[in-house]
A and B are shown apart, each in its own frame.
Chain A
Amino acid sequence: MSETGPSSAPLTDGELKEAARPSPWRDVRVLRAAGQVLFVVILVVIAREMYLNATFAIGSAGRELSYTYLDSRAGFAIKEHIVGYSSNQPLYKAFLVGATNAMLVGAAGIVMATVLGVLIGVARLSPNWMVRKIALVYVEVFRNTPLLVQVIFWYVAVILAIPRIEDSVSVFGLAFVSNRGAALPAIRSGADFGTWSLFALAALLVAAIVWRWRTRVHERTGGPHYRWLSSLAVMAVLAAAGYVIVGDAFKVEVPELIAHGYSGGLQMSPEFAGILVALVFYTAAFIGEIVRGSILAVSKGQKEAAQALGLSPGQQLRLVVLPQAMRTAIPPINNQYLNLWKNTSLAFAVGFPDLINISTTMVNQAGHALETFSLVVGTYLGTSLLISFGMNIVNRAVALRGGTA
Chain B
Amino acid sequence: MSGAGPKGPRLGLGLSEDVDLLRFEQQAREAEAAPGPAPATPGEWIRQNLFSGPVNALLTLASGTFVLFVAYQILSFVFVSAQWEVVQVGMRGYMIGGFPVDEAWRVWASAYLVIVLAGLSYGVSARRLRPSAGQAAVGAVIVAVAGAIVFFTAQTALVRALTAGVAPAVFAGALVGRLLGRKILKPLVVAWVLVFPAIMIVVRGFDGVPPSEWEGFFFNIIAATVGIVASFPLGLLLALGRRSELPAVRVASVGFIELFRGVPLVAWLIFSKFVVDLVLPPQMVIPDIVKAFVAMTFFSAAYVGEIVRGGLQGVPAGQYEAARALGLSTTRMMALIVLPQALRSTIPAMISHFISLFKDTSLFVAIEVTDLLAAARRSASSLQYFGRDMETLLFAGLIFWAVAFSMSRWSQRLEVRLGVGRR
Contact = CB atoms under 8 A, between A and B. Distances in A.
B13 A157 contact: no
Which of B17, B261, B360, B404: most chain A CB closer than 10 A?
B17
A345 B21 CA distance: 26
A237 interface: no
A293 B262 contact: no
6 contacts: A39-B246, A145-B359, A296-B28, A300-B31, A331-B14, A405-B2
Interface in A293-322: 293-294, 296-297, 300
Given A130-B63, A293-B24, A335-B18, A384 B393 contact: no
B389 A332 contact: no
Interface stretch (B139-147, B188-196, B211-219, B263-271): B263-271
Contacts of B80: none
Number of chain A interface residues as a range = 35 or more
A-B pairs with the 6 shortest C-beta distances? Answer: A296-B28, A129-B49, A331-B17, A36-B248, A50-B279, A342-B264
Contact of B275 (A153, A374, A385): A374
A230 interface: no
Contacts of A54: 278-279
B373 A335 contact: no
Contacts of A131: 59-60, 63
Interface of A: 32, 35-37, 39-40, 43, 49-51, 53-54, 56-58, 126-131, 134, 140-141, 144-150, 152-153, 156-157, 161, 289-290, 292-294, 296-297, 300, 328, 331-332, 334-335, 338, 342-343, 345-346, 348-349, 355-356, 360, 363, 369-370, 373-374, 376-377, 380-381, 384-385, 388, 392, 404-405
B280 interface: yes
Contact of B249 (A39, A290, A392): A39
Nearest to B358: A146
B259 interface: yes
Contacts of A292: 28
Contacts of B148: none
Interface of B: 1-2, 5-6, 13-18, 20-21, 24-25, 27-28, 31-32, 49-50, 52, 56, 59-60, 63-64, 66-67, 245-249, 252, 258-259, 261-267, 270-271, 274-275, 277-282, 355, 359-360, 362-363, 365-366, 373, 377, 389-390, 393, 396-397, 400-401, 404-405, 408
B267 A335 contact: no
A369 B275 CA distance: 6
Given A345-B267, A376-B267, A128 B59 contact: yes
A144 B408 contact: yes
Contacts of B373: 146, 148-149, 152
Contact of B390 (A128, A157, A300): A157
B50 A35 contact: no
A253 B322 CA distance: 72
A244 to B, nearest CB: 40
Q: Which of B21, B28, B365 is most buried by chain A, counting CB atoms within 10 A of its CB? A: B21
